[in-house]
Structure 1
Amino acid sequence: MLADVIAIRLERLRPDHAEALLSFERQNRAYFARSVPDRGDAYFEHFCDRHRALLAEQDAGACHFHLVMSDDGTLLGRVNLVDAERGEAELGYRIGEQAAGRGVATAAVLEVCRLAAAGYGLSALTAVATLDNPASTAVLRRTGFTPVGELVINGRPGVRYRRRTTG
């Protein structure tokens, strides 16, 4: 049973999120590296440039980036829709260690699926998870994603998932 399920809200990425987001990424770097490839030192060294580039992609409509926030304003994670085109996008998310196992990823994915349909006009989402990341696989299955194929992600076997956001 999940202890202390956390209520969340999504905030669309903004310029003033940069400092909190960089801090979040630094605090959780080692934790994330246990299940997904590390972003590398250059990500942190050039974070401000990267943040501006993400905002430009978002402004162009190619991507939709969100911070996952608790009711008290604590940054808990990220949930993103990238490569939005022809009514589809790829889902990606990362939840910080302090919020893991508390329903945050499931709630964030469900909310971004709702936004994908209602706010961004997307009819389907894809996502990938490595086989050695059972928590991510469980979130995708709980939120209506179904396996559609196998793949290799940075040398690790994985599964591609798909979910319709409407109908």
Structure 2
Amino acid sequence: MPELQLLRPDHAPALLVFERENRAYFAASIPDRGDAFFARFDEVHRARLAEQAAGICYFHVLVDAAGEVLGRINLVDVADGSADLGYRIAERATGRGLATSAVREICRLAATDYGLTALRAAASLRNAASRAVLTRTGFTVTGETVLSGRPALTYLRTLDAAPDHPTGRPVGP
């Protein structure tokens, strides 16, 4: 089973392979990172590690037993008990429930390890799979927005004492 790991310096080579192999796939539903991201990948990776060390963001990779990156699950703009959630799963790894399980795990980590009480997300109307993951993991639609010129929905999930429950709400009376 793939493991969710906090981003480390040694993830860089596998992460770059993941980003290159899936660039066109991701660009079909989310904004492309652009050529500069790939040209300056080492610099970008170091900057993200610095943001993480400062507690501004928490970057995670989903890795398989061989150390290959299957996905990224990130919490960015951490402030006032909340953060923005972003995730992407490799094309070859879709349809296996990895995004759903990784988002559930990041919700648990956000509440228990990072002390967050809410997560925000957005998904393009063209990205039905991402919208389904958000709904399955307890996010609710809060409004509409535009992502890279495309209509999208905004979502919110409140985190509480039972973050492992799929709805994020305590089980029982």
Please report the TM-score for the alignment, with normalisation by the length of structure 2: 0.91
Partner of 1:35 in structure 2?
A: 29
Paired with 1:37 and 1:88, the residues of 2 have a C-alpha distance of 23
- Aligned residue for 1:16? 10
- Secondary structure in structure 2 of the residue aligned to 1:106: helix
Shift of 1:89: 0.2
Listed as ranges, the gaps of 5+ residues in structure 1 are 1-6
Cα distance, 1:70 vs structure 2: 2.3
| 2:64 equivalent in structure 1 | 70
8 Å CA contact 1:8, 1:108 repeated in 2: no
Q: Which has the higher contact order (CA 8 A, sep 6+)?
A: 1
Could you say which residue in structure 2 is the equivalent of 1:48?
42
Contact kept, 8 Å, 1:128 with 1:161, in 2: the verdict is: yes
- What RMSD over aligned residues (CA atoms) do the two structures have, in Å? 0.9
Native 8 Å contact 1:11 1:68 kept in 2 = yes
Matched residue, 1:146: 140
List gaps (5 residues or longer) in structure 2: 162-173
Q: Supply the distance in 1 between the matched residues of 2:46 and 2:28 (Cα, whole angstroms).
A: 27
Q: Where in structure 1 do 4 or more consecutive aligned residues deviate above 4 Å?
A: none
Q: Once the two structures are superposed, what CA deviation does each residue of 1:109-137 show, in whole Å capped at 9, x if it has no partner? A: 00000000000000000000010100000
SS at match of 2:111: helix
How far the C-alpha of 1:72 sits from its partner, in A, is 4.2
Cα separation, 2, equivalents of 1:72 and 1:23: 14
Matches within 5 A, 1:103-114: 103-114=97-108
Structure 2 counterpart of 1:121, one-letter code: G
The residue type equivalent to 1:78 in the other structure is R
How many residues in Structure 1 have an aligned counterpart in Structure 2? Answer: 161
Map of 1:3 onto structure 2: none
